[in-house]
Amino acid sequence: GDGAVLLSADGRVLRQPYVPVPGGIVVDDTAAGDAFLAAFAVAIVEGESETNALRFAAAAGAIAVSRIGAVPSLPTRAEVDALLEEETRTSLDSASIPVQAQSSESSGPYRAVPEQRPMRNI
C-alpha cells in the first residue's frame, strides 16, 4: 500500500508513507493490522506524538508482513527500532539530507520510543 492516514481529534490529516518491508517481499499479511494497531497504541500510551506513533506502527506492520503466521509475525520493540534506524539511514543516504534537517518533532532519527524504556514485545 501507500502507507497510513490518521484523522486526528483536532481535524488534522496525518499521512505516513509505507516503511519498506524487510527483505523486500510480502510473505503473509496475517496480523499486519494487529501489529500496526498495537504498536500505535503503545507509542501513544508512552507519550509519543501521533506522527511518531504512525511511523512506529508502520514499521511494525512492515515487519509483520515479512513473516508467516499471526503470532510469529509480531515484532519486538528492538526489531521495530532497528528497522526504523536502518530505514532512516537509507533514506538519509539516498537523499543526502543532513540529520539536522529532520523534523523537530522527532526525538532522534524517527525514534518513536526513548532508549531507556524496557524492551517488550508489542
Is-catalytic flag, 93?
no
Exactly one of 10, 29, 34, 93 is catalytic; which is it?
Answer: 34
Of 31, 82, 90, nearest in space to 56 by CA = 82
Rounded to whole angstroms, the Cα distance separating 103 from 35 reads 25
CA distance 122 to 120: 6
Residue 56 contacts residue 40 (beta carbons within 8 Å): yes
**What does DSSP assign to residue 72?**
G
Q: Which residues are part of the catalytic machinery? A: 34
